[in-house]
Amino acid sequence: MSKSAKLFLSFFILAAFLFASVSPALAAGERSITFLGADFVYGKGVVFTFEVKGDFDSFGGTARIGGQDFRLICVFRDDGVLSCTMSQGGYKFIGQTAQISLNGYAFSGVIRPGNFCYNVFDWNKPEYSGDEESYWMWLGQYCQSTPAEYGDTIEYTSEAWGTDWPYTYVPGDLVFDFTGETWGDGYYYPPHSEIIPE
């Protein structure tokens, strides 16, 4: 075998060894972030979830909804899913599209409601409405990811009054209006704390 052939063979073998040792490291260094979904979570707000592959030093980003930017606060759940909560905002963003930027990755998703939805009622007095009698006025639905329990309180924006008010989840069979009709379990204002079971 000529000297040049031996030199070429030695170089080829050395290159093969280098490739074999480096390629696993390259594969291990591959990183990706996959968007899983956007949900409103009761007690937290809007939460975005991601599947993460590879090593990242930290996670940071924003969500843009309706022209507003919100900072994301991210932690890993026990199941390994990355959960990023918006710094502000809640149920009013349900149904809206969020543009998410996380560690240089861009995503888009519609914010979904929670799995448990409840009616919200406000006590409408004659001095407010001009009606002859007071009655429970249905305002809408509030959705959350966990079942409500008697005594739970939420902040709900009343379009009738134009501001947030505290509504408490109470058993509907203890709530009556002037007709004697009940409206079922739900969030009511005022909360009528005297009818919340001990």
What is the pTM (predicted TM-score) of this model?
A: 0.52
Two tokens, residue 51: 């599947």
- Residue 120 or 44, more confident: 120
Report the pLDDT value the prediction gives residue 96, as an integer from 0 to 100: 93
For the segment 54-77, the average pLDDT, to the nearest whole number, is 93
CATH assignment of 32-110? 2.60.40
Report the pLDDT value the prediction gives residue 7, as an integer from 0 to 100: 45
Residue 60 near residue 74, CB atoms below 8 Å: yes
SS3 166: strand
Rounded to an integer, what distance in angstroms lies between the CA atom of residue 68 and that of residue 25?
41
Which residue's entry shows tokens 């490739």?
19
Rounded to an integer, what distance in angstroms lies between the CA atom of residue 70 and that of residue 85?
9
User: Where are the domain boundaries for CATH 2.60.40 in the chain?
Assistant: 32-110
Report the pLDDT value the prediction gives residue 2, as an integer from 0 to 100: 59
Sign of CA dihedral 141, 161, 111, 30: negative
Closest CA to 143 of 64, 43, 63: 43
Two tokens, residue 114: 């929670």
- Residue 24 or 176, more confident: 176
Report the pLDDT value the prediction gives residue 53, as an integer from 0 to 100: 93
At a CB cut-off of 8 Å and minimum separation 6, what does 152 contact?
A: 168, 169, 187
**Most distant CA atoms of the chain, gap in Å:** 111
